Amino acid sequence: MPQASTAFMTMSDTKKTPVAIVGGGPVGLALALFLDRYDVPSVVFNTDTETRWHPKGSTQNARTMEHYRRLGIASELRLLGLPADYPGDVAYFTRFNSYELARLKMPSAAQKAHMVATAGKLDQYPEPLLRANQMYVEAFLLDYVRGRPNITLRFGWEVKSYMQHKDGVSLLAESIADGRSESWRAQYLVGCDGGRSFVRRQLGIRYEGEDTLQQAYFGGRMFASHIRAPTFYRDILGNRRAFQHWAVNPQSRTTMIALDGQEEFLFWMRPNDSSVAPDGDAVQHAMTLSCGADVPVEVIGTQPWTAGIALVAETFADNRVLLAGDAAHLFTPTGGFGMNTGIDDAANLSWKLAAMVQGWGGPNLLESYEAERLPIAVRNTGAARELAKNIGDVSVSPDMEDDSEAGAKARREIGAYLSTFGEEFSSIGVQLGARYDGSIIIEGDAPPPADDFAHYTPSAVPGGRAPHAWLGLGRGEGDSLFDKLGLGFTLLRLGTNAPDPTAFANAAQSLGVPLTTLDIPDNDIRDLYERDLVLIRPDQHVAWRGNTADDADAVMKTVVGND
């Protein structure tokens, strides 16, 4: 158990908060925002004074955007990143000024907005994924958090030690700027402090899984450079813009990801000697090989990363200390699952912490966090690793750039293989298909649909995301079923013959559980859910469904961990 320092033990002006969050990246900030929405105060500690200005993942997936919609910030986030009319395609070239091997067509932001505006009543995608880099989103989240009444920020502070007690966690934090110390007491502490998590290491919790892949590209140590190339579109690419541009040839394999749609990119490369970070000249050389011509490049920054990694913490909790985000699982970036899995962690954990702080959570509720989220981390890290293996399996023919029949044949063959990669960039089943079957707080009643990474099957079988529907003719904010769900649990009364909900209201009241009843006299939506009554959790997962309220007392006890 982590031990506190003498200074920690003797400070008399201890500050108090229900939840202390170590790590102010997107997962830590999202967790604080969810707690704020539930009116639960928190403090966020982060060693940096601001968010880091280096690009990471550029995918805010559909489920993450649904979470941001709940927080009321999805529309503002859609103003970040690529311009609305910028193509969302993924394109593969021999070199960026030469043959195009394959193109995976993906809609632009404007096209996605049109799809939502014209969607049918039972369309499942109220918030399509957003191509905006994590560095933009993190900066936005931090600015937004600064205005929230229930969140205290300690950016530029390091947690030096913490200690668990029967009824809480005490910690000592130190200002990096001037060495001042603060003692805090929280009911719960959550480590959202990344792959080198201090919180996890102090608990002695290890990662388990695969730490790399041995292959020519997307295996082992790679480098991500934030670059500025103002003439790339004009002089190299022409009118063949894409969200991602991949160069595949016998001399080099690299990836260019558009950040602003104008001149900034994230450039992935794996040099022959990956033990040394490439300097500006090395990045310029790799760009020249990839482009097929010289192009001016300004290197803003370069960071290493490991491809093929699929690591999950052996446990996500130790009594009152819990882990979320990269502190709990590490991904290879293929598929864009890493940060998004962390946001889903925060959505799952936040309502359970709120329930415990507010007194309506049962003794088994927090136990369900690991039981529900650890299998999802294993599933998602495995999916990302498999996609990385597929990318590394691309066979590069030595004559693929030749202006000959043999060269054309080689390009057709590799293009056909690359055209099968669409699943990596949609993976809607991974995004929306997370299920908590077998959880102690889920009342399952039927076999769930098969898990399919590339496809999502809406299902109201308890354990999965509540199927989406539009209510009425509008397709904007306030028109989605998700917009009508309460802060706590929501009981849907579906169709024209739904039973009286009084038993559920009484059961919830006796337990102190916040419950909203929502009447939807629409038989199409009732058919989608297959029952007259459906109980939806605060994180929008189905907890129970049935056609009578006879077991309301037992159901309500189970879903809050009181069984």
CATH number at residue 290: 3.30.9.10
Token pair, residue 497, equals 């013959």
Mean of pLDDT values over 459-467: 99
Summarised one tens digit per residue, pLDDT across range 402-446 is 999 999 999 999 999 999 887 667 799 999 999 999 999 999 999
Same domain, 62 and 171: yes
pLDDT of 98 > 80? The answer is yes
Q: Which of 343-347, 388-392, 487-491, 504-508 has the lowest mean pLDDT?
A: 388-392
Provide the 10 A C-beta neighbour count for residue 70: 21
145 Cβ neighbours under 8 A, 6+ residues apart: 29, 32, 33, 44, 151, 153
Is 519 among the domain residues? yes
Q: Which class for 407: exposed (0-12), middle (13-18), buried (19 or more C-beta within 10 A)? A: middle
- How far apart CA 322 and CA 365 sit, in angstroms, is 13
Higher pLDDT, 336 or 393: 336
Question: In this predicted structure, what is the pLDDT of residue 12?
Answer: 57
Token pair, residue 101, equals 């091997």
Do the beta carbons of residue 461 and residue 444 sit within 8 Å?
Answer: yes
Token pair, residue 133, equals 């880099």
Question: In this predicted structure, what is the pLDDT of residue 6?
Answer: 39
CA distances 139 to 177, 385, 518, Å, are 21, 28, 36
pLDDT of 2 > 50? The answer is no
Is 56 among the domain residues? yes
- How far apart CA 228 and CA 216 sit, in angstroms, is 26
Q: Which class for 371: exposed (0-12), middle (13-18), buried (19 or more C-beta within 10 A)? A: middle
Is 534 among the domain residues? yes
pLDDT of 344 > 90? The answer is yes
Q: Report the sign of the C-alpha dihedral through residues 282, 285, 291, 295, in that order.
A: positive
CATH of the domain at 440: 3.40.30.120
- How far apart CA 63 and CA 285 sit, in angstroms, is 39
Summarised one tens digit per residue, pLDDT across range 168-220 is 999 999 999 999 999 999 999 999 999 999 999 999 999 999 987 777 787 78
- How far apart CA 93 and CA 482 sit, in angstroms, is 41
Summarised one tens digit per residue, pLDDT across range 58-79 is 999 999 999 999 999 999 999 9
Exposure string for 222-242, b = 16+ CB within 10 A, e = fewer: bbbbbbbbeebbeebbeebbb
Same domain, 328 and 462: no
Is 299 among the domain residues? yes
Largest Cα separation within the chain, whole Å, is 81
User: How many domains does one find in the chain?
Assistant: 3
Same domain, 230 and 105: yes
Mean of pLDDT values over 29-40: 99
CATH of the domain at 77: 3.50.50.60
Same domain, 250 and 372: no
Is 109 among the domain residues? yes
Question: In this predicted structure, what is the pLDDT of residue 489?
Answer: 99
Question: In this predicted structure, what is the pLDDT of residue 535?
Answer: 99
Average predicted confidence (pLDDT) for the chain: 94
Exposure string for 484-514, b = 16+ CB within 10 A, e = fewer: ebeebbbbbbbbeebeebebbbebbeebebb
Same domain, 548 and 525: yes
Nearest to 339 by CA among 9, 29, 556: 29
**Helices 62-70 and 26-37 sit at what angle, rounded to 10 degrees?**
40
Nearest to 508 by CA among 493, 489, 482: 489
- How far apart CA 355 and CA 358 sit, in angstroms, is 5
pLDDT of 5 > 70? The answer is no
| Domain around 148 | 6-82+132-210+310-383
Is 430 among the domain residues? no
DSSP-derived secondary structure letter, 63: H
Summarised one tens digit per residue, pLDDT across range 223-277 is 999 999 999 999 999 999 999 999 999 998 999 999 999 999 999 998 877 777 8
Q: Which of 131-135, 334-338, 517-521 has the lowest mean pLDDT?
A: 334-338
Do the beta carbons of residue 350 and residue 34 sit within 8 Å?
Answer: yes
Same domain, 412 and 402: yes
DSSP-derived secondary structure letter, 234: I
**Does the reported pTM lie above 0.75?**
yes
DSSP string, 90-120: EEEESSTTS-EEEEE----HHHHHHHHHT--
- How far apart CA 73 and CA 424 sit, in angstroms, is 27
Same domain, 21 and 53: yes
Same domain, 449 and 478: yes
- How far apart CA 248 and CA 384 sit, in angstroms, is 21
Same domain, 420 and 534: no
Same domain, 248 and 191: no
The helix, strand and coil proportions of the chain, stated in percent and rounded to the nearest 5, come to 35, 25, 45
The percentage of the chain sitting over the pLDDT mark of 70, rounded to a whole number, equals 98
SS3 159: strand
Residue 423 one-letter amino acid: E
Give the 3-state DSSP-derived string for 235-261, with helices as H, strands as E and coil as C: HHHCCCCCCEEEEECCCCEEEEEECCC
Same domain, 483 and 545: yes
Is 419 among the domain residues? yes
Give the 3-state DSSP-derived string for 44-58, with helices as H, strands as E and coil as C: EEECCCCCCCCCCCC
Is 266 among the domain residues? yes
Token pair, residue 510, equals 């006796």
Token pair, residue 254, equals 């690299």
Helix and strand tally (H, E) in the chain? 17, 24
- How far apart CA 126 and CA 442 sit, in angstroms, is 25
pLDDT range class, residue 4, cuts 50, 70, 90: very low
Exposure string for 116-127, b = 16+ CB within 10 A, e = fewer: beeeeeebbbbb
* Vertex 98: Cα angle to 93 and 103 (nearest 5): 35
Summarised one tens digit per residue, pLDDT across range 132-157 is 999 999 999 999 999 999 999 999 99
**Number of alpha carbons in the 13 Å side-chain half-sphere of residue 240:** 21
pLDDT of 372 > 80? The answer is yes
Same domain, 363 and 352: yes
Do the beta carbons of residue 158 and residue 51 sit within 8 Å?
Answer: no
- The residue length of the chain stands at 563
Do the beta carbons of residue 494 and residue 526 sit within 8 Å?
Answer: yes
CA distances 72 to 30, 32, 150, 398, Å, are 12, 14, 16, 52
pLDDT range class, residue 389, cuts 50, 70, 90: confident
Higher pLDDT, 286 or 216: 286
